[in-house]
A and B are shown apart, each in its own frame.
Chain A
């Protein structure tokens, strides 16, 4: 399955990624063409009353903007997320090269993961990743 890193690497990359790019473009074309279709088909109101364009607040008069300062609650969660995500980025190449690298790589990564788990335990103890 895995192709060797060869002088033809650039061709190889194009061969792999061109279909992916074509498919990605088609995936975006689908909803966009549907929206264009809807723009042609849809009913247009003859009169637009101002209340129609109000934000929905269960029928009450709109009370101020929604773009306010708001406590997002997951500031630290996001930080911890970045930590684990970066760690995952390290894990992928490790997982693929385990076969050649042998036990040393295994032990190395376990030390790394062990430190990470310690950090996780600390974050849990400090209630940093608790939904406040």
Chain B
């Protein structure tokens, strides 16, 4: 007990399972997506490796690790090799502030199973995920390839633009609850009601916009301009081989999973749900998985926006709408339980 109360040890003890679980989940997600896509396109997906092909990700990982590592002659070697490290690391780091469980102490909900319960959890999430633009651009520039350059340019524009609706939509829970820590936001929701439903109106819209902006940040269809397989070959990944390519792919799944988790914590009550508190982590997994499924459902049934439509949607509609949402929430806060201004 005394050992666990040491903050360094605490980070290690709680952080290790979180890290391993989400790495495994990302690997499994790649198998699941292929199965799901198979279903939607009337085919089977992977079936050979293990039952239902479930060991496919491990076979893929092994294959990628063995592949020859090619660095193009023209590339900037150091940057080229550095870029694949960041997406996965940053996508995982977002999860540091997520409360995976919680319990009632009388009338008060106290969140638990957090790696680092930062007072400014929301800012940590936004800051770390905001850094995701850099590795994409690093890869795009360092590859010294025309396709990657174009893809990098586009994805910086997209990432930078959608950062604004993302931040402003995340502001709605902060304004409504007056809390910047994720555990505080979950506690407020456990006591007053989930933010998708309460405050009625702005919470729901903010959730939808946050979700859309997360899709854009994670480069998922309909916002997958940076990858745009049919136009830019493979986006910034053109020159990458072997595990470096694999890390980018893995990071995409991790990023999508992390985005689903954050959205469920901010708007869907996180680990709060009916039944005893011991099921808290299960609720969070259930909520996040639902969002995750929706993301891939969209991905396999929708088309891609054009660059200019994408920017128009963001700057013309999402930015002013989210600004107004923040204002409405601030006004409503005066009339909400818990809001005392």
Q: Is B92's CB within 8 Å of the partner chain A?
A: yes
Q: Is B149's CB within 8 Å of the partner chain A?
A: yes
Report yes or no: B184 in contact with A2, Cβ–Cβ below 8 A: yes
> Which chain B residue has the least Cβ–Cβ distance from A120?
B320
The answer for the CA separation of A90 and B174 in the assembled complex, in Å, is 13
Q: Is B145's CB within 8 Å of the partner chain A?
A: yes
Within 8 A of B (CB), among A14-71: 14-24, 26-28, 30-32, 34-35, 37-39, 41-45, 50, 52-58, 62, 65-67, 70
Q: A1-B183, A22-B11, A30-B92 are in contact. Are A54 and B72 (CB under 8 A)?
A: yes
Within 8 A of A (CB), among B56-79: 64-75
Give the chain B neighbours of A81 by CB distance below 8 A.
160-161, 163-164
> Which chain A residue has the least Cβ–Cβ distance from B170?
A88
Within 8 A of A (CB), among B158-190: 160-161, 163-164, 167-168, 171, 174-175, 178-181, 183-184, 187
Report yes or no: B243 in contact with A56, Cβ–Cβ below 8 A: no
Give the chain A neighbours of B171 by CB distance below 8 A.
88, 91-92, 95
The answer for the CA separation of A101 and B339 in the assembled complex, in Å, is 12
> Which chain A residue has the least Cβ–Cβ distance from B108?
A1
Q: A120-B320, A130-B311, A131-B311 are in contact. Are A30 and B69 (CB under 8 A)?
A: no
Contact of A66 among B92, B148, B180 (CB under 8 A): B148
Give the chain B neighbours of A15 by CB distance below 8 A.
7
Q: Is A126's CB within 8 Å of the partner chain B?
A: no
Q: A18-B11, A56-B239 are in contact. Are A2 and B119 (CB under 8 A)?
A: yes
> Which chain A residue has the least Cβ–Cβ distance from B8?
A18
The answer for the CA separation of A54 and B145 in the assembled complex, in Å, is 10
The answer for the CA separation of A72 and B74 in the assembled complex, in Å, is 21
Give the chain B neighbours of A44 by CB distance below 8 A.
68
The answer for the CA separation of A117 and B69 in the assembled complex, in Å, is 50
Output the least CB separation between A45 and chain B (Å): 6
Main DSSP-derived SS at the B contact region? helix
Give the chain B neighbours of A41 by CB distance below 8 A.
65-66
B interface residue numbers (CB < 8 A to A): 7-8, 10-12, 14-16, 18-19, 23, 64-75, 84-85, 88-90, 92-93, 96-97, 115-119, 122-124, 141, 143-149, 153, 156-157, 160-161, 163-164, 167-168, 171, 174-175, 178-181, 183-184, 187, 233, 238-239, 242-244, 247, 307-308, 310-312, 315-316, 319-320, 323, 326-327, 330-331, 333-334, 339-341
Q: Could you jot down 14 A-B contacts, CB within 8 Å? A: A18-B10, A23-B18, A23-B116, A42-B66, A53-B70, A55-B146, A56-B238, A57-B146, A58-B233, A74-B157, A74-B160, A103-B334, A106-B331, A113-B327
